[in-house]
Amino acid sequence: MKKIFNAILTLLTLLSGSIAALCGITLFFWGRARIDHVFIYALTFGDVGTSLKFVFAVWISVGAILFAICFNYYKKFAFVAPLIAIALLSYTFKPIEYWLGAEDISTLYEDEYQPYAPSAESPKRNLIILFLESMENDYRDYDGNGGNLLPELSSIADKNHSFSNFYQLEYTKATILGQVSALCGMVYKIELKEYNLSSMLDNTLSNAVCISDVLSKAGYNTYFLKGASLDFAMTGKIMAQHGFSELQGLYELSEHARGNEWGVKDSQLYDVFKQKITHLAAQKKPFLAVMTTLDMHYPNEYLDKQCDKKFGDKRDIVKCADKMASDFIRWVQKQDFYKNTTIIIMGDHIFIGKNDIYPHKKERRIFNAVINPIKGLNAKQHQWTTLDMAPTIMEAIGFTAPAFGLGRSLWQNEPTLFEKYGKNLDLEFIKSSDFYKNMNQTNNNTNQKFEQLPTNVELSGEKIKPYATFFESKDDLNGAVWGDKLSFSLENKNNICIKMKFLLIKTKSTEKVKVLLNNQKFSEWKFIKSEQPPFERKICLNKQDIPDDGKIVLQFVREIKTANLFNYTLGWLNIIAQTE
């Protein structure tokens, strides 16, 4: 019995040491971070660089070993270790702060959210958005004595439009958070108390309207480029949900050279971006093209070989980013399509944690510039957040959008939400919001009434849509209904088998699809190399599989690493349910 007790204490000590080390390395790299901020990154941690995963694995192991050594020499440490781990968890990830805040209800969205109102106007101005990783405006005078690490971008900003008095919200201090804020005029968050794991992985704000949604519906070609994996932080899934018809990331650019551990180096990204923009410009349709840089991504910053080593530290990487971005802008300005093109350059967020270049500086701002907007716009003086970029960008290309979501145009006089609420605005986003939850409900194109599924009747084409979570497409994709769920109700709790014929666009020789029944794994399909579409499968439900209310949700999850819309869904051709 004593051996079992000691074994339990040893395991508890090892676990406590691992947790303590995890907290320590998180604090070292990123500082304190609320649990709802980092949860989505934890879910997609497999797509970070190998060296970062190695560092985490080593330090977590070291923490466990050190705690085990302490336990070996001092047995009572087994009772102290969990307290240390709990204290570090509470300090690092602020779970109590989140939990208490989530108990409150916010009416901010009901009071302030202004959906974009389409009008008869249909501007056809091209839009290029360049998100520069961790690019701070403070690099323009990094030492307080006029030292400028952004000489070329500074010149561009001074000759065009740039907005000062920026404040970074808690929910916009990472890449995907900043991008959603700038494109959609709202924050991106996960309400942990309201979601199951399946819902978290499908958290794409499907009912929100973003710039890319508006432009896609207005006839724009849309393109999104990122050097890192599109699966990380669900970037690809979010962007595919919001109007981007073509996306490229690490796996789609596998033939290109990596820079840092996160993905493809910026010099090659710019080459890909130029080629794609040239192609888009030749289509005789307006286009939206978005790119996210990567070389400055902490903690694996990368200095490209084409750049000088003047300082021998991070400052060289900043100057390199300045040169690459300004070279790209000058290239665009030489193209025939430039006269009808607006360029937005902005840091996705300020550097996370203390910036080594000026470690004592607290108030920092993202770099931003608007180049070649429509004529007649004049920047107004505002205190603003990334939320306000959405309407500002829309108006820069000719749309009337004094407000867009929670954002307010910086070309107009209407006060921003930060000017109205100050730093209390962050507190509102901590709170729970039914309005926000509804933004992530799949009401669009999804039957929420769980219509009765008829038996012995073949459903095809439009007849499938009432039962499918489907994706609208302007093209007729082989007459199929493309989606990842089937939702329906069964009147009687009888044994039933559902036969399905569907398409699946393979990306590998062998594919697997997990079948979830009401969020629980139910089955798994395997598609071997020789098997060709259309595919046929059958799902049989026994009485015990059917809940009392008869409501069934079948979800189909593909085990692939790509964000292409039709690569993580199935194309339903026909469905027939038969009682057994």
DSSP of 396-455 = HTT---SEEBTEE-TTSSSPPHHHHHTTHHHHHHHSB-HHHHHHTS--TT---S-PBPPB
The token duo for 574 is: 């026909």
Residue 79 has pLDDT above 90, yes or no: no
The sign one gets for the Cα dihedral 307, 309, 313, 318 is: negative
The token duo for 461 is: 């084409």
Q: Return the number of other C-beta atoms located less than 10 Å from residue 83's C-beta.
A: 10
The answer to whether 48 and 110 have CB atoms below 8 angstroms apart is: no
Burial class (CB in 10 A: 0-12, 13-18, 19+), 322: buried
Helix or strand holding residue 346 (H, E): strand 341-347
112: amino acid identity, one letter: E
CA atoms of 407 and 393, how far apart (whole Å) = 11
Q: Return the number of other C-beta atoms located less than 10 Å from residue 388's C-beta.
A: 28
CA atoms of 381 and 446, how far apart (whole Å) = 43
Is pLDDT larger for residue 131 or for residue 1? Answer: 131
Tell me the average pLDDT across 430-441: 80
- Residue-wise pLDDT for 310-325, tens only, equals 999 999 999 999 999 9
The answer to whether 268 and 262 have CB atoms below 8 angstroms apart is: no
The token duo for 457 is: 């009747």
Residue 446 banded pLDDT, cuts 50, 70, 90:
very low
Q: Return the number of other C-beta atoms located less than 10 Å from residue 246's C-beta.
A: 17
The model carries a pTM of 0.75
Residue 46 has pLDDT above 70, yes or no: no
CA atoms of 228 and 245, how far apart (whole Å) = 18
Residue 540 banded pLDDT, cuts 50, 70, 90:
very high
DSSP 247: E
- Residue-wise pLDDT for 469-514, tens only, equals 765 544 445 678 887 788 888 877 778 899 999 887 665 667 788 8
The token duo for 78 is: 């087994």
**248, 323, 326, 334: which is closest to 291 by C-alpha?**
248
CA atoms of 441 and 29, how far apart (whole Å) = 34
- Residue-wise pLDDT for 217-232, tens only, equals 899 999 999 999 888 8
The token duo for 413 is: 């006089």
Is pLDDT larger for residue 543 or for residue 474? Answer: 543
- Compute the radius of gyration of the chain from its Cα atoms: 26
Tell me the average pLDDT across 371-389: 96
- Residue-wise pLDDT for 394-417, tens only, equals 999 999 999 999 999 999 999 999
Burial class (CB in 10 A: 0-12, 13-18, 19+), 185: buried
Is pLDDT larger for residue 97 or for residue 524? Answer: 524
Is pLDDT larger for residue 383 or for residue 444? Answer: 383
Burial class (CB in 10 A: 0-12, 13-18, 19+), 402: middle
Q: Return the number of other C-beta atoms located less than 10 Å from residue 334's C-beta.
A: 8
Tell me the average pLDDT across 297-316: 90
pLDDT at position 339, please? Answer: 96
550: left (phi over 0), alpha (psi -120 to 50) or beta: left
Q: Which of 287-291, 309-313, 344-348, 436-440 is predicted with the least confidence, judged by mean pLDDT?
A: 436-440
